[in-house]
Amino acid sequence: MSEFDAIVVGGGPAGSSAAMRLASAGHNVLLVEKADPPGSKNVSGGVLWGNDLEAVIPDWQKTAPVERYVKAKGVGFLTKESNIGLEFRSGLFDKNRAGHMVLRAKLDQWLVKKAKDMGAMVATGVTVDRVAFDKGKAIGVEQDGDIITSDCVILAEGANPRVAIDSGLREPLNDKDVAIGVKEVIKLSEKTVNERFNLRDKEGFAGEYVLGFLPDQVEAGGFLYTNKDTISAGVVISMKHLRENDRTYSFDIIEQFLEHPAIAPLVDGGSVEEYSAHMVQEGGIERVPKLYGNGYMIAGDAAGFSFSNGLVLQGMNYAIASGIAAADTFIEAKKGSGVSEESLAGYRKRLLDSYVLKDLYNFRGIDEVTWGRLPHRAMPNALEHIMKGLFIEQGVPKKHLYQLMTEALGESGIRTSEAVLEGYRMLRRM
Amino acid sequence: MALHLVVLIKVVPDGKEVFVDPVTFTLNRSMATNIINPADENALEAALQIKDKMDAKITVMTMAPPFAEPFLMECMSRGADEAVLISDRAVAGSDTYPTSLTVAAAIRKMGDVDIVFAGEKTSDSSTGHVGPGVAEFIGAELASYSRKVTYEDGYVIAERELENGVEEVRIPTPAVVTILTDSNDPRRATLRKKIDAMKKGIITWSLADINIPADWVGLRSSPTVVKKMLPFPRKDRKAEKIEKDKIPELIDNLVKAGVIKLEAE
Average pLDDT over residues A138-156: 97
For residue A414, name the pLDDT band (cuts at 50, 70, 90): confident
Alpha carbon of B230: minimum distance to chain A alpha carbons (Å): 31
Q: Give the pLDDT score at A430.
A: 66
Is residue B260 domain-resident? no
Which sign does the torsion angle of CA A202, A203, A208, A212 carry? negative
CATH number, domain with residue B41: 3.40.50.620
Q: Do A146 and B77 lie within an 8 Å CB cutoff?
A: no
**For residue range A169-194, what is the model confidence (pLDDT) as tens digits?**
999 988 888 889 999 999 999 999 99
Q: Is A149 on the interface with B (CB under 8 A)?
A: no
Q: Do B198 and A121 lie within an 8 Å CB cutoff?
A: yes
Query: Which of B34, B195, B196 to probe the A interface (max A CBs under 10 A)?
Result: B195
**For residue range A339-386, what is the model confidence (pLDDT) as tens digits?**
999 999 999 999 999 999 998 888 887 777 778 788 888 888 889 988
Q: Do A32 and B198 lie within an 8 Å CB cutoff?
A: no
Residue A264 burial by Cβ neighbours in a 10 Å radius (0-12, 13-18, 19+): exposed
Is residue B229 domain-resident? no
Is residue B226 domain-resident? no
**For residue range B205-254, what is the model confidence (pLDDT) as tens digits?**
999 999 999 888 888 888 888 777 777 777 777 777 788 888 888 889 88
Alpha carbon of B189: minimum distance to chain A alpha carbons (Å): 7
Question: Would the pLDDT of A155 be above 90?
Answer: yes
Query: Which of B31, B77, B190, B191 to probe the A interface (max A CBs under 10 A)?
Result: B191
Is residue B67 domain-resident? yes
| Whole-number Å distance between alpha carbons of A302 and A14 | 9
Q: Which of B77, B188, B192 sits opposite A146 (nearest CB)?
A: B192
Any idea which of A103-112, A175-184, A402-411 has the lowest mean pLDDT? A402-411
Q: Give the pLDDT score at A118.
A: 98
Which ranges of A60-212 would DSSP assign to H, the alpha helix? 60-63, 92-95, 104-117, 162-166, 190-197
Q: Is A121 on the interface with B (CB under 8 A)?
A: yes
Q: Taking the mean position of all CA atoms in its chain, how far away is CA A379?
A: 24
Q: Which of B74, B195, B198 sits opposite A148 (nearest CB)?
A: B195
Query: Which of A144, A147, A149, A150 to probe the B interface (max B CBs under 10 A)?
Result: A144
Residues spanned by the domain of B116: 3-221
Q: Give the pLDDT score at B246.
A: 87
DSSP states along B3-57: EEEEEE--EEE-GGG-EE-TTT--EE-TTPPEEE-HHHHHHHHHHHHHHHHS-EE
| Whole-number Å distance between alpha carbons of A153 and A293 | 10
Is residue B19 domain-resident? yes
Is residue B203 domain-resident? yes
Domain count, chain B: 1
Q: Which residues of A touch B189 (CB under 8 A)?
A: 125-126
Name the closest residue on chain A to residue B188, using Cα atoms. A126
Any idea which of A405-419, B43-57, B211-225 has the lowest mean pLDDT? A405-419
Q: Give the pLDDT score at B17.
A: 79
Question: Would the pLDDT of B133 be above 80?
Answer: yes
Question: Would the pLDDT of A77 be above 70?
Answer: yes
The angle subtended at Cα A384 by Cα A380 and Cα A388, nearest 5°, is: 180
Any idea which of A145-154, B72-81, B169-178, B213-222 has the lowest mean pLDDT? B213-222
Q: Is B184 on the interface with A (CB under 8 A)?
A: no
Q: Do A143 and B195 lie within an 8 Å CB cutoff?
A: no
Q: Give the pLDDT score at A216.
A: 75
Percent share of chain A, pLDDT over 70: 99
| Whole-number Å distance between alpha carbons of B133 and B137 | 6
SS3 B73: helix
Of residues A162 and A250, more confidently modeled: A162
Question: Would the pLDDT of A309 be above 80?
Answer: no
Q: Which residues of B touch A30 (CB under 8 A)?
A: 195
Question: Would the pLDDT of A324 be above 70?
Answer: yes
Q: Is A148 on the interface with B (CB under 8 A)?
A: yes
Mean pLDDT of chain A: 91
Q: Which residues of A touch B194 (CB under 8 A)?
A: 123, 126
Residues 6+ apart with CB under 8 A from A322: A14, A299, A300, A303, A305, A351, A356
Alpha carbon of B94: minimum distance to chain A alpha carbons (Å): 31
Question: Would the pLDDT of B19 be above 80?
Answer: no
**For residue range A280-308, what is the model confidence (pLDDT) as tens digits?**
888 788 889 999 999 999 999 999 998 87
Any idea which of A225-239, B90-104, B200-214 has the lowest mean pLDDT? B90-104
Question: Where do the domains of chain A lie, and which CATH numbers do they carry?
Answer: 4-65+103-171+289-367 (3.50.50.60), 176-281 (3.30.9.90), 372-429 (no CATH)
Q: Give the pLDDT score at A205.
A: 96
Of residues A240 and A343, more confidently modeled: A343
Average pLDDT over residues A41-68: 90
Q: Give the pLDDT score at B168.
A: 96
Q: Do B192 and A30 lie within an 8 Å CB cutoff?
A: no
Convert A381-421 into a string of H (helix), E (strand) and C (coil): HHHHHHHHHHHCCCCCCCCCHHHHHHHHHHHCCCCHHHHHH
Question: Would the pLDDT of A224 be above 80?
Answer: yes
Q: Do A144 and B192 lie within an 8 Å CB cutoff?
A: yes
Is residue B233 domain-resident? no
Q: Do B195 and A121 lie within an 8 Å CB cutoff?
A: yes
Q: Give the pLDDT score at B198.
A: 96
DSSP 8-class letter at B231: P
Q: Which residues of B touch A141 (CB under 8 A)?
A: 191
Any idea which of A267-271, A408-412, B129-133, B160-164 has the lowest mean pLDDT? A408-412
Is residue B153 domain-resident? yes
Q: Give the pLDDT score at A197.
A: 97
SS3 A171: coil
